[in-house]
Amino acid sequence: MNNILNTLIKNIKKIKENLFINKILNTFIKIVNDLDEKVFRNNILNNLEEIVSEKGYDEHPIKDHDFETKISYLHGLALVMNVDSEIHSEEKKYLKKLIKTFGINDLEMDNFINFALNPDKKIIDDLIDVINNSETALHFLVDCYEMAYRDKKIKKEEKTIIEHYKKILNVDVYKYNSLVQLLDSIHLEQFDIDNFNNKILKIHDLKYLFEDYCCECYIGLLYDSGKDYAKAMQWYNKAADKGGSDAMHNIALLYYNGQGVLQDYDKAMQWYVKAADKGLGDSMSNIAILYQNGLGVDQDYEKAMQWYKKAAAKGYAIAMFNIAMLYKNGMGVDQDYVKAEIWFKKAYKTTNNKDVKYECKKHLKN
């Protein structure tokens, strides 16, 4: 039981600003002492799966606007949804979540779909009047982008209509270009909060964008901890499809360990690389391990060293320790006890892990 909570807590710290996830964690803590592990997991999974598919977003910058603004806003998004003459299921789900978020009757969904199929110029004019040249227009463009991104690729027609909205809503070109760059960086998980927080929109206004794949990854973690690896893989894939690097890393682990799938070091490497490309140090370190041990790839100590150093730059002490070992044993590099000692000391200072500290001290004494 503690292993489940520890795993969840460790990952939740990475997105501590997400109030929805923290509410789920609080629910875990309240009931964990009252249920056995199997019942606990099944109850939470049932609730989480329902929440992910049915609930709206806890926070959205338009949530408390007036009814007219919210209706116009959703009509505008409906046009983006069908601009390529194909309404995808994930686009409908996104619109439905926003309808719930805005507190609008679910029955309105059909009206928005009908509008997407048969646009009404007056409604479009209302949209322009309501959110023209305002911060709401920026939020609207965010959701247009997210709607277009739901089928994993922003098509030419979708890009065209979003740029058209930018013009008719009088959104500053610099702000628009910065916004597109920001949203791309969010999906690549390469954004820097300090870089945009005071320039375009506040990070507080964008938290809802992280809810979907984070929840799906946690559902995967719960199935994983219950050794239902096939279902864990399903949920990790859903999160990975939305850009979740932790989910990508977890998929790699399943392939590496042969859990729920045939052991496949090549596929493990592919998924580690995807997560590493998004900046995940854990994956960088594991790529190095594959190269060092020749698992799924030709054994290559030089490439192992390269990847360990990338992970070390992210602050991963185990990677620092392994760099020290490569120098100490002259694997992929000239044997160098001085450099080995430097890296052992770095690892020792960086980690709180008692086992790693012990190993570092042992090698430093020798």
Cα distance between residue 118 and residue 169, in whole Å: 22
Cα distance between residue 364 and residue 345, in whole Å: 8
What are 198-202's contacts with CB under 8 Å, separation 24+? 200/138, 200/175, 201/61, 201/135, 201/138, 201/139, 201/142
Are the C-beta atoms of residues 49 and 219 closer than 8 Å to each other?
yes
Mean pLDDT, residues 145-154 taken together: 81
The closest of 6, 35, 120 to 71, measured between CA atoms, is: 120
| Average per-residue pLDDT for the chain | 80
Mean pLDDT, residues 270-291 taken together: 94
Cα distance between residue 120 and residue 300, in whole Å: 62
The closest of 288, 314, 318, 316 to 302, measured between CA atoms, is: 288
The closest of 85, 82, 111, 106 to 96, measured between CA atoms, is: 106
DSSP notation for 102-171: TT--TTHHHHHHHHHHS--HHHHHHHHHHHTTSHHHHHHHHHHHHHHHTTSS--HHHHHHHHHHHHHTT-
Higher-scoring residue by pLDDT: 220, 348: 348
Note the pLDDT of residue 223: 78
CA 78 to chain CA centroid, Å, is: 25
Are the C-beta atoms of residues 15 and 24 closer than 8 Å to each other?
no
Residue 352 has pLDDT above 50, yes or no: yes
Higher-scoring residue by pLDDT: 26, 160: 160
Cα distance between residue 91 and residue 278, in whole Å: 25
Task: Pick left, alpha or beta for residue 229 (phi over 0 → left; psi -120 to 50 → alpha; otherwise beta).
Answer: alpha
Q: By mean pLDDT, which of 42-46, 78-82, 135-139 is the weakest? A: 42-46
67-200 matches 244-365 in fold: no
pLDDT in tens, 241-267: 877 888 999 999 999 999 999 999 999
Give the containing element (helix H, strand E) for 232.
Answer: helix 229-241
State if pTM tops 0.85.
Answer: no
Q: Which fold has domain 67-200?
A: TerB-like (1.10.3680)
Domain spans, the chain: 67-200, 244-365
Q: What class, spelled out in words, does domain 244-365 have in CATH? A: mainly alpha
pLDDT in tens, 46-93: 555 555 555 677 678 888 889 988 999 999 999 998 888 888 888 888
